[in-house]
Amino acid sequence: MKVLLVEPPKTCWELMGEKNVSPPLGLAQIAGMLENHSVDVEIVDCNASGLNWDNLEDKIEKIQPSVVGCTAITPFFYEALEVMKLAKRVDEKIFTVMGGPHPTFTIEETLQNPGVDAIVKGEGEITFLELIRCLEKKDGLSKVRGIAYRNGNKVVQTLPQPPADVNGLPLPAYHLLPMEKYHFVVLDNFITVLSSRGCPHRCTFCSEWRFWRAYRARDPVKVVDEMELLNKKYGRDCFWFGDDCFNVDKKHIQGICTELMERNLGVSWFCQGRADFLIKYRDLLPGMRKSGNLMTQIGVETSKNEEMRSFNKGLTIDQVKKAVDLLKENDIVSQGLILIGSRKDNADSILHKLRYMKWLDVDFPIFTVYTPFPGSDIYEEAKINNWLEVQDYSKYDMAHAIIPTEHLSREQVASFYYYCFKSCYLDPIKLAKGLLSRNEWKRKIWRHMIRFTLNQIGRSFKLRKRKLRKRK
């Protein structure tokens, strides 16, 4: 049985850079599991290979797969759905499978689309393999754990798959990817690696903890084995740890840093983590920096403790400030993400968040729009209260306002979003510090963020002109 896994043509989040191409790590991990069990599998990454929809159709016709799989996060759900439709157009006998966070949390809605035969719920390696074995034997789908499918007009969900043993999984099938094509705007030879899955916290705006269900850390030796392979075989010297929360486990972090230093790979790495863990394990920061940690991203989220509690974040404003200061003391670049447009936000509270970000003095402040992703607590609350004014999932990208606040319209939230970036990245003092930094990498990011900000200003200006024309 031939399996084809597809990363569809799509436009990346503008903040990341239009030319950014990231590896489809989830597909590569599933392919690795299938190959490890002698399943014939191929990956087509349209973004990396420069393929459009017509090219993809030709590829499917040429490969003639029995099964086509695709994964989807919410803003790229429609692209994944188009892959399913395209496969059925090539050959209606192709069995189509969709996985990822969005279909996992929108099972009934997703299966209303006749192009989708089955959904893999949650992490997919074991479930996808079991599904393939079931299709090979022509057994009933009810025997496969962790899937959903249609049986006539009824949607059937099977028993959940237990969380995977992350140390028992094979490596992603990197050899099936065009590895030379992956790059980031300021990280030419970058690649994404997962050192853990899940998060022990339950933030109301996040659906990842519910998707992965349990926090599990990989053996640090295996993590660095993977990094060494990517470094020596594929020339990757810049690693982004895609973990939801990299710094949960002290021994885990220490083990990775020790392995990197002992092997002297000379690589750089980046991660995202929590401010409280960063403070708790502050003694690890010198080793993190020495082993190649150039930047750490933390969730600032808000500027007031009251709202922090409403997010179930388990942090205080003072902890965030202490974490930023510790990163500076250890020469680790800080990136801070803060949410605007939450339900209680008004003009004063958003401007307070802006002032707070400037006071924190994070190296790269990132403003994101409060977005109710399917699977999150706030999505369910928004549905119940009819706050969702946007049904177009492509706008669920943390850059478009989906719900109004109690005091602001979505259009007003969008205006503040543009203003916050402009106020930070065109601030004369911060601009000079960023562009004149001794750190070349930091200067590159500032140039990128300035271009992004100017594009946002241009877009805001066009929206205003459009509104004025409508009024006339």
Integer CA distances (angstroms), 318 to 95, 152, 304, 315, in order = 53, 56, 10, 8
Domain presence at residue 164: no
CATH number, domain of 455, equals 3.80.30.20
Radius of gyration of the chain (CA): 23
Q: ∠ CA 166-167-170 to the nearest 5 degrees?
A: 85
Domain presence at residue 67: yes
Q: What is the pLDDT of residue 37?
A: 97
- Name the pLDDT band for 230 (thresholds 50, 70, 90): very high
Domain presence at residue 387: yes
Q: How many Cα atoms are found within 13 Å in the side-chain-facing hemisphere of 2?
A: 12
Average pLDDT over residues 68-84: 97
Contact 367, 340 (CB under 8 A): yes
Q: What is the pLDDT of residue 466?
A: 66
Q: How much of the chain exceeds pLDDT 70, in percent?
A: 95
Average pLDDT over residues 404-416: 96
Q: Does 335 lie in the same domain as 294?
A: yes
| Distance between CA atoms of residues 375 and 117, nearest Å | 21
Q: Does 221 lie in the same domain as 86?
A: no
What six digits make up the tokens of 268?
């750089």
What six digits make up the tokens of 224?
């660095």
Q: Does 131 lie in the same domain as 209?
A: no
- Name the pLDDT band for 119 (thresholds 50, 70, 90): very high
Domain presence at residue 414: yes
pLDDT in tens, 346-386: 999 999 999 999 999 999 999 999 999 999 999 999 999 99
Instruction: Of 330, 276, 267, give the one whose Cα is nearest residue 300.
Output: 276
Contact 91, 65 (CB under 8 A): no
Domain presence at residue 122: yes
Overall domain count for the chain: 2
Domain presence at residue 170: no
Q: Does 333 lie in the same domain as 450?
A: yes
Q: How many Cα atoms are found within 13 Å in the side-chain-facing hemisphere of 5?
A: 31
Higher pLDDT, 453 or 413: 413
Please provide the average confidence, as pLDDT, over all residues in the chain: 93
CATH number, domain of 84, equals 3.40.50.280
Q: Which amino acid is at 457?
A: I
| Containing structural domain, residue 70 | 2-151
Domain presence at residue 176: no
Q: Does 262 lie in the same domain as 145?
A: no
Q: How much of the chain exceeds pLDDT 90, in percent?
A: 83
Domain presence at residue 167: no
| Distance between CA atoms of residues 121 and 445, nearest Å | 37
Q: Does 123 lie in the same domain as 195?
A: no
Q: Does 200 lie in the same domain as 140?
A: no
Indicate the range of 4-8, 88-92, 187-191, 244-248 predicted with least confidence.
Answer: 187-191
Of 151, 169, 204, the residue at which a domain comes to its end is: 151
Q: Does 203 lie in the same domain as 139?
A: no
Q: What is the pLDDT of residue 67?
A: 98
Helical spans, DSSP H, in 183-290: 208-212, 220-234, 250-263, 275-280, 285-290
Of 151, 167, 202, the residue at which a domain comes to its end is: 151
Average pLDDT over residues 191-204: 95
110 CA to centre of own chain: 20
- What is the CB neighbour count within 10 angstroms for residue 10? 15
- Name the pLDDT band for 113 (thresholds 50, 70, 90): very high
pLDDT in tens, 424-439: 998 888 888 888 888 8
Q: Does 187 lie in the same domain as 143?
A: no
Burial level of 258, CB count in 10 A (0-12/13-18/19+)? middle
Q: Does 339 lie in the same domain as 293?
A: yes
- What is the CB neighbour count within 10 angstroms for residue 188? 12
Note the pTM of the prediction, 2 decimals.
0.93
Average pLDDT over residues 108-117: 96
Average pLDDT over residues 449-459: 80
Average pLDDT over residues 169-177: 97
Q: What is the pLDDT of residue 17?
A: 57
Q: Does 191 lie in the same domain as 75?
A: no
Q: Does 202 lie in the same domain as 144?
A: no
Q: What is the pLDDT of residue 452?
A: 81
